Amino acid sequence: MKVVLIGVGQAGGKITQALAEYDYEMGFDAVQGALAVNTAKADLQALDIDTQLIGRDRVKGHGVGGDNELGAQIMEEEATEVMNELDGRITSKAEGLMIVAGLGGGTGSGGAPMLARELNRIYDIPVYVLGVLPGRNEGSIYQANAGRSLKTVVREADSTILIDNDAWHATDESVEEGFDTINQNIAQRVGLLLAAGEVIDGVAESVVDSSEVINTLRPGGIASIGYASVAAAEDSADNINNITSATRNALLAGTSLPNAVQADTALLVIAGEPERISRKGVERARSWVEDETGSLEVRGGDFPLDSDRLAALILLGGVERSHRIDEFLERAREAHEQANEPSPNPNEAFDNEQLDDLF
C-alpha cells in the first residue's frame, strides 16, 4: 500500500523517520514521501527526512509547551503552507495518507486532527492517523491531551491506528530506551502492513494487496495492529502449528492495544518464505481469528519475505469497544478532574457532551 507519511510533533517526526528508513532498507517502496511538521525547531533539526517548521510568529520555534489547543490553532492557520509542502509528494501513486503523531504532546495531539480534517477536505484517498497513546506514567497533562485528541482525531480521520506506549517495550528499559524500542517496533509492524501488495521477490499463494488493508480499515473508528514471529521449519507441513501459534501470540500478547480483541474487521498476514507457509495453517489461523475477535469479516493471505522465521501480522478494525480504550479514557477523565475540567464517563467518551473536542 503506497502512502505519504506526515509526522506531526516530536514523536510523530521520529516515528515517521523510522518508518521511512525501514521501508527503504527493506526495499518495499511503500512510502512515497515523508515530511515532518513541528512547532519546535530543535526537534526538526535532529531528523534526516524533509521537515517544515510552523508557528514561527506564534511560538518562535520553541514549541507549544503541551498546549494542544494552540497546536490545533497553528495547524489551522498554516494549513495552506503545509499543503503546499505536501503537494509535490502526493501523486497519483499514493493510495493513502498517514499522519503520525504522539497524542499526548501539544503539537502532535492538536495538529494531527486538524491536519486530518484539511487533508480529507482536499484529497479523495483515505486519510489515516497513526497515533501513540501516552504510557500510564507519562503525566496527567499527556493523558488529558490524548483524551481530547483521540476523540477529535477519530472523528476527522478515516481510521485511527492506535499504539499504546505501554505495549511494546520492556519494563526494565529507561524512558528513552523504551521510546526507541517502541519506534522500531512501530516501524517494523506498520512497515510490513504498508508493504502488502508491493512488488517484492517471491510469489505468495494467496496475495494480500492494498485493497485488503483499505477494506479492513474502512469501517473507521479505532484500529490496532498485532505481531509475533516463530522459527520456521523447512517443510510447510511442519509449520501448521507454528503459524497458529504465531497468530495466537500476535493477537493475545502482541497487539498495539493489549487485550483489545473484539473487532469489527480483521486482516491476518502470514509473512515468510512461500515454500514454508502452510495453506492449511493459514486457514486454520484465520478461522481462529474469526472466533476470537467475533468478526465475520476476517481477511487473510501471505506475504513473501526472505527469512528463516514465520511472522503473523494482524490488523484489527473497530476495536473502540475494548477494555483497553475504557482504561485509557478513565485515565483521561482523572487527568481532567485534576485540572478542574469536566470529566467524561469513559463508556460514553465519544459522545459530544463528554470530552471536549479540540475544535
Neighbours of 316 (CB within 10 A): 31
Q: Are residues 274 and 125 in the same domain?
A: no
CA 12 to chain CA centroid, nearest Å: 11
Q: Are residues 30 and 176 in the same domain?
A: yes
188 occurs within a structural domain = yes
Q: Are residues 234 and 256 in the same domain?
A: yes
CATH number, domain with residue 285 = 3.30.1330.20
Give mean pLDDT, residues 85-106.
Answer: 95
Percentage of the chain lying above the pLDDT 70 cut: 90
CA distance 16 to 4: 10
Q: Are residues 178 and 238 in the same domain?
A: no
Residue 354 — pLDDT band, cuts 50, 70, 90?
Answer: very low
250 occurs within a structural domain = yes
The mean of the pLDDT values for the chain is 90
Q: Are residues 120 and 18 in the same domain?
A: yes
Asked if pLDDT for residue 204 goes beyond 60, the answer is no
The pLDDT score that the predictor gives to residue 327 is 84
Q: Name the more confident of 352 and 144.
A: 144
Asked if pLDDT for residue 144 goes beyond 50, the answer is yes
Q: Are residues 305 and 338 in the same domain?
A: no
221 occurs within a structural domain = no
Q: Are residues 312 and 336 in the same domain?
A: no
Give mean pLDDT, residues 3-25.
Answer: 97
211 occurs within a structural domain = no
Asked if pLDDT for residue 166 goes beyond 50, the answer is yes
Q: Can you give the residue range of the structural domain that contains 232?
A: 226-316
283 occurs within a structural domain = yes
Give mean pLDDT, residues 353-358.
Answer: 59
Q: Is 203 helix (H, G, I), strand (E, B) or coil?
A: coil
91 occurs within a structural domain = yes
Residue 203 — pLDDT band, cuts 50, 70, 90?
Answer: low
Asked if pLDDT for residue 44 goes beyond 60, the answer is yes
Q: Is 284 helix (H, G, I), strand (E, B) or coil?
A: helix
Q: Are residues 41 and 182 in the same domain?
A: yes
| Exposed / middle / buried, residue 321 (Cβ in 10 Å: 0-12, 13-18, 19+) | middle
Q: Name the more confident of 343 and 103.
A: 103
Segment 280-311, tens digit of pLDDT: 999 999 999 999 999 999 999 899 999 999 99
The pLDDT score that the predictor gives to residue 343 is 47
Asked if pLDDT for residue 173 goes beyond 90, the answer is no
| Exposed / middle / buried, residue 80 (Cβ in 10 Å: 0-12, 13-18, 19+) | exposed
Give mean pLDDT, residues 66-89.
Answer: 95
Q: Are residues 153 and 176 in the same domain?
A: yes
Q: Are residues 264 and 340 in the same domain?
A: no
Segment 233-273, tens digit of pLDDT: 999 999 999 999 999 999 999 999 988 899 999 999 999 99
Q: Are residues 51 and 171 in the same domain?
A: yes
Segment 317-328, tens digit of pLDDT: 999 877 778 888
14 occurs within a structural domain = yes
Segment 127-138, tens digit of pLDDT: 999 999 998 888
**C-alpha grid cell for residue 321?**
469497544
The pLDDT score that the predictor gives to residue 320 is 85
The pLDDT score that the predictor gives to residue 329 is 86
* CA dist list (Å): 223 to 168, 191, 212, 321: 16, 16, 14, 11
The pLDDT score that the predictor gives to residue 335 is 85
Segment of 82-86, 171-175, 202-206 carrying the highest mean pLDDT = 82-86
Stated pTM of the model: 0.91
The pLDDT score that the predictor gives to residue 348 is 56
- The candidate with the shortest Cα–Cα distance to 41, out of 5, 10, 75, is 10
Q: Name the more confident of 339 and 146.
A: 146
Q: Are residues 158 and 234 in the same domain?
A: no
Q: Which helix (H) or strand (E) holds 292?
A: helix 279-293
The pLDDT score that the predictor gives to residue 352 is 43
41 occurs within a structural domain = yes
Counted domains in the chain:
2
Give mean pLDDT, residues 348-356.
Answer: 53
The pLDDT score that the predictor gives to residue 299 is 94
CATH number, domain with residue 19 = 3.40.50.1440
